[in-house]
Structure formats: C-alpha cells, structure tokens
Structure 1
Amino acid sequence: MTELQPLDAGFIELEDADRRVSLGIAAVAILAGRPPARAEFAAMLAERVAANQRLRQRIRRAPLDLTAPVREEDPNFDLAHHIRWAALPEPADETVLREFVAGELVERLDRDHPMWECVVVERLADARWALIVKAHHSLVDGVSGVSLFERLCDAQESDPRLRAAPPADTAAGPDWFDRVVAGLRLPLDVPRYAVGMMRSLIPVVAAFVSVPEASSLNGPIGRQRRYTIARASLTEIREIGRGLDATVNDVVLAAVTSAYRGVLLGRGEQPTGKTVRILVPVSMRAADAKSLLDNRVSAVLSLLPLHLDDPVERLITIHQRMARHKSSGAAQAEKSLLDLAGRLPFAPVAWGMRLWSRLPQRGVTAVATNIPGPRRTLSVLGREVLELIPAIPIAMRLRTGIAILSYGDQLTFGITGDYDSTPDLEKIADGIHTAIADLLAAARARPQHPVG
C-alpha cells in the first residue's frame, strides 16, 4: 500500500465537495484506419497494465479521514471494468466527437476500482477512429498522464524505456514509528520551511485575498459541459517567440488573453487589467519521475492584461510578468507548502481541504495548463496517432479551463466550458486562432538584426 500525497488526496476532496464536478482528465487520440478487434485491444492493454502496478490499485479511505487514503491492490481487478466501446452517430465528424468528449468529462470514474478507463470510439469520418484515455486527477497530472498514454502505445526499438516498467514508487504505507518521528521533528522542520516559504508565498496569498473584478467567467457551474478545440503550428509559435523575444508559454498565454478579451467584449463586458487572474500549473517533476502516476505540480497565479488592445504589447507584458513570477520562487514555495502538509497529521489537513473546497472561491478566474507532449510519432497496434488532444475538467466556479498539448509540430488547445454559462465557447477557439495569426504577422514584420 502507498499513501496518497496531500495534492492527490486534495483532488478527491474537491470532487466530493461538489456533486456537479468530475475530476477525470483525458487524452483523446485520433488514429488512422480501422480500430483493432476487441480481443486484440484487450490483450494489448492487459500486457501494458501488467507492467504498471498503479493501474491495478484502488483508493481506500480511513474512517473519519484520521489517516491519509491509501492505494491498495484491487482484489477484484477486472480489465473489462476499464474498457468501453462506443460508436458516434452520423456524420461522426469532429463536432460530434467534441460533444462526446464533453459527455465523457461529466461522468465520474468508479471509486470501487482503479480510477482510469479507455474508451474506443470505433469510427470517425475520413477513415479514422479515436482512443480516449481518462484517469482521475488524483492519479495523474498532465505530464504523468501523457506518459501513461505513451506507455499504452507501441514501443520502438530506438526507445526501449517505453517497454520497461516505470520506476517503483517506494513510498511506504502507514508506519506509526515514522509518524512519531516526524511529529517529534515538526518543531525543527516547521521553522526551517517557514521563513523562505512565507517570503515567496506573500504574492500567492495576496492573489487569493485580492479578488479580481467580477466577470461572467467566474461563478456557479452546472453538471453539463461544452468542449472545443483550437490548433496551432508549434513551428509558428516558436517563430513568434524568436521574433518578439518571448517563450512558447508566453505566446500561448498571450493567445489565451486575446481570446478571453474577445469573449468578454462580445458579452458586452469591458475587460480591464484586473478582470482575469489565471492559474498556470508548473510541473515540479524530476526527469526520472516522469512515469510515476501521481501529481507533482505547483502553480503560478497572474493577472492577464486584457485591457491592452495591441497584441504585441500584451505579449511583452505577459513575458515580463511571468519572468517576475519565476524569479519570485512562488511555485517552489507552494511545493514546499505541500511538502509540509505531508508531514502534518492527515486529519486536520483533510478537514481544512474540505472546508476550503466548499467556499465560493473568487480569486482565480481561469486555468491554462501547457503540457509538453511526445515528439515522436506514436502508434497503437500499428495504427498511427494522427492527433493528440487534451481534455481537462472544471471546478470551483471556474467556468472554463484550457489544456495545451504539443504532439510533433502541432499545438492543440482543448477547451472545456460550463454548458449553461459558456454557450459562446467556440469564440475562445476563434480568438486563439486570430491572436496567433496577428502575433505571427507582427513577428514577421519586425526588422531582423543580422547576426555578427
């Protein structure tokens, strides 16, 4: 058995706090040709699951949450619980697939079994099919979720690590002696963490205390979802970055900023520099822990400059703000806070999470997570993966969420919205496309200085 870390357990608490929320995250793969036979697919999946113990573990909670939840072997593990086959109605095109994905984001994963599943969509237009791999956020974050999908794909001789079992998770189960020792060390450990952490956490705490100006992007959400997609060339995104002295992540956030500005203007709202505060997850995962199924993320909070009309000025402002956030150490401080939570008795931590998750948060307006995806071309049982599209849940009054995933030369934005409050979700995708085109034109128009 292994204990859930505080962030993993926090996603369980967050889902429990709102019956309208499902915290499954998904990778949607579009593949060429016809899907494999059911027996062939099941045999492949059984082989992959046999190499990863975490996929055969369920979560068991302690009475009254006196100790942390643990992952334990599911005594009734049956692969059939984790495979579903689906067919789309005509014309089985992308619009129909997006509606299907929106429905998948609503359905909660079964807590009585390991919380993941594969959905095979047997036929798409243009001689394609789809594979949706969904896992609960307590099991994976963006990086480990992509790694999980890669391990379900065909391995190549040039990449033998994909066939190797992932590194063993050596975290021990409940050990009362270790708990006692940790408790005795708290008076020494807490001050050591506190000084540097508090210095870096001041901007984070201020962000949650200072509520952004009210907008229709934040508020109660229902149970149904909308889902749409935007696409960009990673080569062009990098060209923008080189031409305008920005990072890929800066360019992505500038496009998201432009899209939210356009949506609010279309709703008759006047966006300002204090309208949208975005949460940007930051991976804290070491390279050798890429394959471990858990959450190793912190976050940066930043106001988006929606008040600026010029796209280049917006990009420059975002670049400057993100550079300040990185240098402030806020993300590392949040990670230290989670590490400290892991040293405390679980019961008060869990009860605090439960109380916090039930409060109507207004400090964050949106979330955008940028996930580095596979560079090589993937395949499943010999069928080429043509596209890889992310899909994330929304919760806590965030009416939209955007996941950005690279695959080869394509950058794909998977955009989730609350059904009732975001009937114009397509405008976010349109705004992203327009913003990238505007930035690319500006980058190409800027005079290039010769080297040397």
Structure 2
Amino acid sequence: MDASFYFVEDENVPMHVGSVLVFEGPAPSYGDVIRLFLSKMDSVPRYRQRVRSLPLHVGRPVWVDDDHFQILYHVRHTAVPSPGGDDQLRNLAGRLFAQRLDLTKPLWEIWLVEGLENNRWAIISKVHHCLIDGVAGTDLMQLLLDARKDVALPEPTEWTPQRSPSQLDLVVDGVRDAVWTPVKHLAAIPAFARSLRSGSELLDIGRAVLGSLPGTAKRLTSSAAGSLNGPIGPHRRWVWTKADLAEVKRIRKATGGTVNDVILTAITHGFRELLAKRGELVDGQVVRTMVPVSMRAENEHDRLDNRVSAVLVNLPVSSLDPLDRLSTIREQMDDLKGSRQAAGADVLTKAGNFAAPTLLALGSRTAMRFPQQLLQTVTTNVPGPRVPLYMLGRRLQNIYPYVPIASTMRISIGIFSYLDEITFGINADFDGVPDVQVLADGIRSGFDELLAVAAAPAE
C-alpha cells in the first residue's frame, strides 16, 4: 500500500496528507523551530530518508538515507497578509497543499506561519501518504509536540547517513523480492485458512468485498450523485468547519447511534445542500463515500506506515428528514461491522504482495486514473488527543486536517478531534468545485439541524 500511494502521484495528484496547527502566540523564532525539529529527528528516521525507485520497477521502491539532507529545505518560514484571519490562512494552506513534494528528497515539509490575528501563529505540515496513514500521522504529531508546556529539548545528536546501496544491489534485491515475496505469502495461505472458523467465512469475505451481500449490493446499485465526479487539475480549494464534541454527544444521546454516525449524517446534509444549490438533487440519490478503517493493532502505534482498509457507505442526500438520514447511516454501519467487508478489503490489500512490483506500479496508476462513478468522496475520521499539546511552550489551539483527492473524486473530507473540538478539512479541485464553501457551511448547519431535533420535546 505504501508503494501504491507513491506510484499514483503525478502533476495533478499530489499524494501527501497534511494539517494546519494553530497556536497561541507569540510566534517562536525560525531558529527555535529548526532546533526543535533537529532535536526530534532521531525519533522519526524517515524524515532523513528519501525514496529510490528501481529501473522498470523490478522491485518495490526502497527507503535510503539522504546524503544531502538539509533541515533548512524542509522547515520553511512565511507569513499571511493582513488582516491574518482564517480566510488568509486557508488560502495560503490551499496553495501550499496543491504543490507537490520533491520526490527526490525526504517527503515532508513544515511551514512556520506568522501574521495571524489575535496574537496567533501556525504550522502547516505536509507528509507524503506513502510514509504515514492517518493514525500514524497522529502518533507523529505527538512525537513532535509535547504534553507539557515546560519541556526541555534534547540536544541534537550527530547523524551520519548510511551508505546508499548501489544500483546493482537494488536490482538484485528487487528481483529477489519479486520472486520470494509471493512465495512467502503463498506459504502463509494455509495458516490464514486455518484461522477461519469455516470455509464459509472466506466466502463471506469475498462476497462482502465484491458486493454480493444484500446490503452491499444495494449500496453499489443505488443511484449516486455522479455530478460530483470528474477530472481534476493541479490546484486546490481547501476550507474547514468544526463542531464541539459535546454537541455531537448530545445528539447521539437523544437519537441513538454512534459519534461517527452523527458525523456522517451532518456530512450528508452538507452534500445535500451542495447538490440542491446546483439544482442537481433528485429523489433516491446518494453520495457514495469511502470510509477508511484503521487495521492497526494496539501494539503498532509506533510504526510509520500504512495499515488501513476501507468500507463503502451511501450518504442518503435525497432524504428530507435528518432522523431518517441518521437511521439509514446507522443501519449501514451496523451491517458493515457484521459483514467483514473491512477485513475482506484488508485481505485484498495484502494480495498486492503477490503482484510483481512492475504490475503493482502500473495497476496503482491505472486504478487511480480510470474514470469511475462508483465513489464520490472520501471521509476519513482520525481521533486525536484529548489533552492539551504544546510546541516550544505555546499551546496548540486547533488542528485542521488535509486529505488528498485523486482519480475522478473531486472532494475529500478529513475529520480530526482534539480536546473537545472536531474539525473538518474539506479539500476540493479548484476548478471543479468552486462552491466548496457551500459544503462546509452545510456540514455545520447539519449539526445545527440535528441539535434542534435533539432538543425538541418528544411527542
């Protein structure tokens, strides 16, 4: 999966995840930020490594130490124009997120942003998706931030890059990997089969993934809002909205379901507003979203890689009643939890280990470029820390996530929780979704609508 995220990158599809972190002031000096990151480099070795690809992709790309690593290239300094409000910060972040990372260097950037109103400052972070998934990104953030205000920084240690392997060494290892890895995974099949309680479980996984289970089949055949799909260009619009965790819990307590069910219902309202403003809302319509699911075990939170699967959920945008929308989403999520679709998708993800790396590269690119109307968006929800975090003694106020768009999906929604706040970072193609703010405002009004229902006296 890491290799797939690397292979699909092109001039219109920068495959990095990101975030905007807003802090209380005053802003630290650029030199202090440089020293902070230097002191933490030993904890994130990937930050001093780059990717090397093999000729003709005879093996998977490999991580190698960057002989020319320079911290000043990766930690940068800028400012927003006056008055330094949210609009100026969002516009700056949208431009920076649209710019590709240099694939010949370690795949991350940090921007120190000054000039925010109310004595605030920000960090804009970009990390390539081949390096981390959402949960690993949260762990990384907690490595670079502190749970206490008065933490002394460790002294930076001397670092000597390991010798980069020769091209011949990489080709030989790549060929060996291409031959040995499929054999190793084939040998593991009997153990996997024995771990299933019966042969029918394997059939259940296949049915869930292929859509032959009744609930999944209905989700795949429902009329989707195809107008949300289309070609994407190199530029991005990025906006945000937010909700309080307390109000989400109040809705959940009054209406049932889970926090995730409530969040998806509010997002449904946002898409309903967007389609209605475009004059494209019709009866029976849905917006089909991919919802990534972490497959990371409790003991795997220190690994910087991708351990994700996904499920498909239909957002019932044509439904007028918010409680009906919530009920429909809750029914789907309950069905998915029991159908093993996520487990089945993880099995298919691991099946990539059987493919020769050349085919993996071609397959990844082809899958992300093939025009499709099946999925309209991605909504990814990552729970963050419930305790205050600090950077150089300054308290972190807000975090807004960025998730890339690809293929013909013009909109993605990243969801992150910190303290008692849930934030939504909405990424959209600049030309294809000029009305993305309608979606953001609609998500917020979706929570307000549910709050009104929750506060209404029972009949």
* CA-to-aligned-CA distance 1:226-264 (integer Å, 9 cap, x gap): 111111010110111111111111001000101101110
Write the letter of the residue equivalent to 1:112. T
* CA-to-aligned-CA distance 1:314-353 (integer Å, 9 cap, x gap): 0011000111112111111111111222244322222222
Deviation at 1:46, TM superposition (A): 0.3
Secondary structure in 1 aligned to 2:378? strand
Counterpart in 2 of 1:200?
Answer: 208
CA separation of 1:208/1:30 partners in 2, compared to 1, >3 Å: closer, same or farther? same
Task: Choose the corresponding residue for 1:442, options 445, 453, 457.
Answer: 453
Deviation at 1:208, TM superposition (A): 10
Question: Using the alignment, how far apart are the partners of 2:385 and 2:151 within structure 1?
Answer: 12
Question: Using the alignment, how far apart are the partners of 1:150 and 1:236 within structure 2?
Answer: 26
Task: Choose the corresponding residue for 1:280, options 284, 291, 295.
Answer: 291
Deviation at 1:196, TM superposition (A): 5.2
Question: Using the alignment, how far apart are the partners of 1:245 and 1:391 within structure 2?
Answer: 29
Write the letter of the residue equivalent to 2:445. T
Counterpart in 2 of 1:111?
Answer: 103
Task: Choose the corresponding residue for 2:144, options 144, 147, 152.
Answer: 152
Q: How do residues 325-336 of structure 1 correspond to structure 2 at under 5 angstroms?
A: 325-336=336-347
Deviation at 1:222, TM superposition (A): 1.9
* CA-to-aligned-CA distance 1:394-427 (integer Å, 9 cap, x gap): 1111111111110100011111111112221111
Deviation at 1:158, TM superposition (A): 12
Task: Choose the corresponding residue for 1:407, options 395, 413, 418.
Answer: 418
Check whether the contact 1:212–1:362 (CA below 8 A) recurs between aligned residues.
Answer: no
Aligned residues: 430
CA separation of 1:102/1:175 partners in 2, compared to 1, >3 Å: closer, same or farther? closer
Matched, 1:353 2:345: no
Matched, 1:11 2:5: yes
Write the letter of the residue equivalent to 1:199. R
Deviation at 1:117, TM superposition (A): 1.1
Counterpart in 2 of 1:83?
Answer: 75
Deviation at 1:175, TM superposition (A): 8.1
Question: Using the alignment, how far apart are the partners of 2:356 and 2:412 within structure 1?
Answer: 32
* 397-406 or 151-160, larger mean C-alpha shift: 151-160
Secondary structure in 2 aligned to 1:317? helix
Question: Using the alignment, how far apart are the partners of 1:367 and 1:393 within structure 2?
Answer: 9
Check whether the contact 1:35–1:122 (CA below 8 A) recurs between aligned residues.
Answer: yes
Counterpart in 2 of 1:300?
Answer: 311
Deviation at 1:213, TM superposition (A): 3.8
Write the letter of the residue equivalent to 1:203. G
CA separation of 1:329/1:184 partners in 2, compared to 1, >3 Å: closer, same or farther? same
Question: Using the alignment, how far apart are the partners of 2:110 and 2:320 within structure 1?
Answer: 43
Q: How do residues 134-173 of structure 1 correspond to structure 2 at under 5 angstroms?
A: 134-156=126-148
Counterpart in 1 of 2:159?
Answer: none
Matched, 1:47 2:39: yes
Secondary structure in 1 aligned to 2:9? helix
* CA-to-aligned-CA distance 1:47-105 (integer Å, 9 cap, x gap): 11122212211111111111111111112111112111011111111001110111011
Write the letter of the residue equivalent to 2:309. S
Secondary structure in 2 aligned to 1:361? coil
Counterpart in 2 of 1:217?
Answer: 228
Question: Using the alignment, how far apart are the partners of 2:111 and 2:34 within structure 1?
Answer: 12
Question: Using the alignment, how far apart are the partners of 2:258 and 2:16 within structure 1?
Answer: 29
Check whether the contact 1:30–1:128 (CA below 8 A) recurs between aligned residues.
Answer: yes
* 181-190 or 350-359, larger mean C-alpha shift: 181-190
TM-score, length-scaled by structure 1: 0.88
Question: Using the alignment, how far apart are the partners of 1:142 and 1:59 within structure 2?
Answer: 20
Task: Choose the corresponding residue for 1:291, options 291, 294, 302.
Answer: 302
Secondary structure in 1 aligned to 2:135? helix
Secondary structure in 2 aligned to 1:15? coil
Matched, 1:97 2:108: no
Task: Choose the corresponding residue for 1:395, options 376, 381, 406.
Answer: 406
Q: How do residues 125-136 of structure 1 correspond to structure 2 at under 5 angstroms?
A: 125-136=117-128
Question: Using the alignment, how far apart are the partners of 2:441 and 2:38 within structure 1?
Answer: 41
Counterpart in 1 of 2:198?
Answer: none
Matched, 1:122 2:133: no
Structure 1's unaligned 5+ residue stretches are 1-6, 164-172
Write the letter of the residue equivalent to 1:99. N
Question: Using the alignment, how far apart are the partners of 1:179 and 1:385 within structure 2?
Answer: 45
Check whether the contact 2:21–2:396 (CA below 8 A) recurs between aligned residues.
Answer: yes
Structure 2's unaligned 5+ residue stretches are 156-169, 194-201
Secondary structure in 2 aligned to 1:354? helix
Check whether the contact 1:274–1:303 (CA below 8 A) recurs between aligned residues.
Answer: no
Secondary structure in 1 aligned to 2:211? helix
Deviation at 1:179, TM superposition (A): 6.2
Write the letter of the residue equivalent to 1:198. G
Check whether the contact 1:15–1:23 (CA below 8 A) recurs between aligned residues.
Answer: yes
Matched, 1:27 2:34: no
Question: Using the alignment, how far apart are the partners of 1:405 and 1:297 within structure 2?
Answer: 16
CA RMSD of aligned residues (A): 2.7
Matched, 1:382 2:376: no
